Amino acid sequence: MKGTLPLWQGCQMFRRHFLSYLALSTMAIAQPLLDLYGKNTTVFSAAKLSPLEVVVFLLLVGLAPALTCVVLDRFSAMFGPKVNEATRLSLISGLSLLLGLAVARWLDVNRNIPSIAIGLAFALVLPWAFDKSKPVREWSRWLSVLSVAVLGSAVIALQPVLLESDGPQSDAVIGKKDVTVLQVIFDEFPLASLLGNDGNINAVRFPGFAELAQGSTWYRNSVAESNFTHQAVPAILSSSVPAQTGGPFLSQYPKNIFTLFADATSVGGIEPVTSLCPHSVCGGKSGAAFSFSAGHLKTFLRDAAFVYGQRVFPPVLRKYVPSIEGTWGGFGAVANKFKDQFAVGALSQVEAVERAVQIVAESKAPRVQVVHALLPHAPWRITPDFRVDPLSPTISTQNPDNEEVIRDMYQTFLYQVGAADRVIQNLISDLKVSGKWDSTMLVVSADHGISFIPTMPQRHTDFMDPDQVADIYRIPTFIKYPNQKKGVSDDCAISNLDLLPTIIDVTETASSWTFAGKSLAHDCPTGRVRRVVSATGETSVIAGGFEETRSRAAHYAEIVSNVGSINKVASVGESASLIGTRIGKRTADKRITEWTIKQKRMFTNVSGKRGASIPALITGEVTLSQPLDAGTEGIITVDGIAAGVIGELSGARSVTSFTAVLDYTLLTPGAHTVELFIRNPDGSLASAGAPS
């Protein structure tokens, strides 16, 4: 083709090429991505995208790849028809490669060579057919109607996100108007982690929860309704059995604590994951549906790129893409939401509870305030004094077949439970100082627990392993009734479905709305069956009692002792008794060639400020000149005091990577010296000196 095309002909060529690119990009990019997002609408709730931002996201995914290709196509035309044709075929080849990889994943081809072979076959055959066959070119344009179907399906699936409402009109009338309700929902919090050897709340390690138990009713036989947040939190807030489909939206759970009390009293909610409270009720501003943040959308698009890579790429490429596993239904953009929260502001979830307490403390009149906090949910980085440590790459949301890593994970988890305990301590103190403690109905629970059984999922369950079920479904639940003065331990068989009916009963609220749970305010519901659900569709009946939780607490106490204050979480292994003691000079251990700490520089200037980064968790390598005996451990000292244990040295060979959790109380403001000592199986110690 020579010369310059007439305008009408150029527009026609633009349209034809755009339709071809649109057909391929829809099949290769938009369909795999939007199909996954449409089935996992929780990600939009967690990301808190406005309807306008969601619309822009859909248009970018559906149209931007094709438009980009057209721009490159037209730009290449400036360099002549040959360059233009080569560019066009290259663009088609690239989209065809992605389509082939997507088809390979759809066929469940998860090996590198077959997957790449299918992708390359598409990348070669489709451009050749497009170039040689006019019918193929025509069909490629007609197939562009798929974009309408894909975007239309996404819009239908995302109606709860796109169409906002104020929920149903409530007829609730509050009879007891002098009661304030504060409901705190923790996340990923098994009851077993709070217990001491006597079956009571471990007051030495968790003084905040112990104080709460002393002034409230502790329901020791409480279970979660679901194992995943997108079902478990709506179940709490709406007292309804969660649906297996859909997401945590107002349209799915229209009758909930927010809409019930909305016209009867002041209501507030802090929901990092769910979206059950109407904008008009929980501080939403007029026009929120049309709010737009370019930075917000940019972050969401970045996460979508990670999701697409994990969804389409072969294993050899997926390992370079951030993981999307580990949260609700295994959908990773929500996992990235957690990571963003803890990276941008590690204490954001601590501050969420503090904000809710402040609202209650400063309120001039009674109100209903709800806060869901992602504590002690992973990533486990917060220390009990609200400082922040690094995260080891070996610590993840998957339970490995490695007891040392499991122990490291459980130690970091317990530190974050300690942070949740500090939150409760401050909550109680603030409410008492404000004079609101007696008049407040305080409801503290968790959406679900977490399990640390090697090789088994942390929250997915088929209900076949009773220990895993106890870890996941048995949760802490405390209700401090108004003017309650004495603590009570209650073994009534309850579930999270009972919390809202209890709030309704205590506030003497009259309403025609009905709920699945039963009030606990007066008598224990009898003759009931506690049927719980899994986000993957299974159901089971929880029939046992508190003895199951005590059994799990005893098990985990063997992994990390539950004796001593929270900093004693660092005391593990055969060297546990040495932690906190001073270790004097020892002869050099010639078996250690060198050892390194990735966080070495952090010890030169430790900060004591809230939110400061500290090396309470360290990672590194130990290089050996000869193997070490089984039972050998490393002891990390800070300023000569034993601070943490390296269990990976037992039977170690050559270069050994390690993770160690340190006693954070030893990391006082200023510079610190760090050394490594080797504890042999017979108890003798040798020095490996300072890190390289």
Domain ranges for the chain, please list them.
Answer: 7-162, 175-280+333-559, 571-689
pLDDT at 234 > cutoff 70 = yes
The answer to whether the bond into 466 is cis (omega within 30° of 0) is: no
User: 13 falls in which pLDDT band (50, 70, 90)?
Assistant: low
Q: Say if CB 591 and CB 689 are below 8 A apart.
A: no
Mean pLDDT of 523-531: 90
CATH of domain 175-280+333-559: 3.40.720.10
Neighbours of 529 (CB within 10 A): 8
Q: Which of 224, 647, 191, 570 is nearest to 394 (CA)?
A: 647
- Decide if pLDDT at 192 tops 80: yes
Letter string b/e over residues 405-441, b meaning 16 or more CB atoms within 10 A of that residue's CB: bbbbbbbbbbbbbbbbbbbbbbbbebbeeeebbeebb
> Residues 180, 363: contact at Cβ < 8 Å?
yes
Instruction: Write down the architecture of domain 571-689 according to CATH.
Output: Sandwich (2.60)
* Distance (Å, whole) CA 551 – CA 137: 67
pLDDT score for 141: 84
Q: How many CB atoms lie within 10 A of CB 636?
A: 27
The answer to whether the CB of 583 falls within 8 A of the CB of 232 is: no
Q: How far apart are CA 122 and CA 127, in angstroms?
A: 8
Query: What 3-state DSSP class applies to 451?
Result: coil
Strand 674-679 relative to strand 633-638: parallel, antiparallel, unpaired? antiparallel
pLDDT in tens, 414-448: 999 999 999 999 999 999 999 999 999 999 999 99
Contact 190, 449 (CB under 8 A): yes
Pairing relationship of beta strands 217-219 and 539-541 according to DSSP bridges: unpaired
Taking alpha carbons only, the member of 692, 564, 689 closest to residue 635 is 689
DSSP string, 247-299: -SBTTTS-SSHHHHHTTTSEEEEE-SS-B-S-TTTTTPPTTGGG---HHHHHH
Among 460, 456, 452, 468, residue whose Cα is nearest residue 405 = 452
Does residue 384 surpass a pLDDT of 80?
Answer: yes
Strands (E), 72-200: 173-174, 180-186
Q: Is the pLDDT of residue 295 over 90?
A: no
Name the residue with higher pLDDT: 688 or 341.
Answer: 688
Q: What is the pLDDT of residue 332?
A: 42
Cα–Cα distance between 416 and 406 in angstroms, integer?
15
Whether 398 has a pLDDT exceeding 90, the answer reads no
pLDDT band at 630 (very low <50, low <70, confident <90, very high): very high
- d(CA 611, CA 64) in angstroms, rounded, equals 40
3-state secondary structure 580-600: CCECCCCCECCCEEEEEECCH
Q: Is the pLDDT of residue 369 over 60?
A: yes
Contact call for residues 675 and 637 (beta carbons, < 8 A): yes
Q: Residue for token digits 């966080």?
A: 599
Helices (H) and strands (E) in the chain, counts: 20, 20
| Per-residue pLDDT at 5 exceeds 70 | no
Angle at 447 between CA 446 and CA 453, to 5 degrees: 90
Identify the pLDDT of residue 535: 87
In this prediction, residue 14 carries a pLDDT of 59
User: What's the pLDDT at 7?
Assistant: 43
- The percentage of residues in the chain with a pLDDT greater than 90, rounded to a whole number, is 74
Enter the DSSP assignment of 388. Answer: B
Contact 647, 407 (CB under 8 A): yes
- The residues, ordered by sequence, that sit 6+ positions from 25 with a Cβ below 8 Å of its Cβ are 65, 66, 69, 95
What does residue 366 show for φ and ψ, rounded to 5 degrees?
Answer: -55, 150
Helix (H) or strand (E) holding 502: helix 499-506
pLDDT score of 12: 59
Q: What is the pLDDT of residue 1?
A: 40
- Residue 581: left (phi > 0), alpha (psi -120 to 50), or beta? beta
Residue 283, pLDDT > 80, answer no
SS3 at position 688: strand
Q: What is the DSSP letter of 29?
A: I
Residue pair 389/615 in contact (Cβ under 8 Å)? The answer is: yes
pLDDT above 90 (res 656): yes
Q: For residue 398, give both structure tokens.
A: 């998957």
Percentage of the residues of the chain whose pLDDT score is greater than 70 = 93
Return the half-sphere exposure (C-beta side, CA atoms, 13 A cut-off) of residue 513.
Answer: 25
- In sequence order, which residues have a C-beta less than 8 Å from that of residue 208 and are 6 or more positions away? 420, 421, 422, 423, 424, 425, 426, 427, 428
Specify the DSSP element, H or E, that contains 343: helix 332-344
HSE value, Cβ hemisphere, 13 Å, CA-based, for 532: 27
* pLDDT of 340 higher than 50: no
User: pLDDT per residue over 114-142, tens digit each?
Assistant: 999 999 999 999 999 988 888 888 888 88
Q: Residue 373's pLDDT is what?
A: 95
Residue 485 corresponds to which tokens in the numbers above? 């003065």
Q: Does the structure show a pLDDT above 80 at 284? A: no
Higher pLDDT, 392 or 285: 392
CB-count burial class (<10 Å; 0-12, 13-18, 19+) for 278: buried
SS3 495: strand
Residue 335 pLDDT class (50, 70, 90 cuts): very low
Neighbouring C-alpha atoms within 13 Å toward the C-beta of 355: 14
pLDDT exceeds cutoff 90 at 527: no
Confirm if 46 and 161 have CB atoms less than 8 A apart.
no
The more confidently predicted of residues 409 and 5 is: 409
User: Tokens 């607490």 appear where?
Assistant: 553
Label residue 43 by pLDDT band (50, 70, 90): confident
| 175-280+333-559 and 571-689 share one fold | no
pTM of the entire structure? 0.88
More reliable by pLDDT, 2 or 196: 196
Return the higher-pLDDT residue of 397 and 479: 479
C-alpha span between 415 and 388 (Å, rounded): 10
C-alpha span between 488 and 494 (Å, rounded): 15
Q: Tokens standing for 214?
A: 């002393």
Backbone φ and ψ of 295, nearest 5°: -65, -40
User: Which residues are paired to 184 by β-bridges?
Assistant: 371, 444
Average pLDDT of span 394-412? 90
Instruction: Please write the tens of the pLDDT for every residue from 127-184.
Output: 999 888 888 888 888 888 899 999 999 999 888 888 878 889 999 999 999 999 999 9
pLDDT band at 320 (very low <50, low <70, confident <90, very high): confident
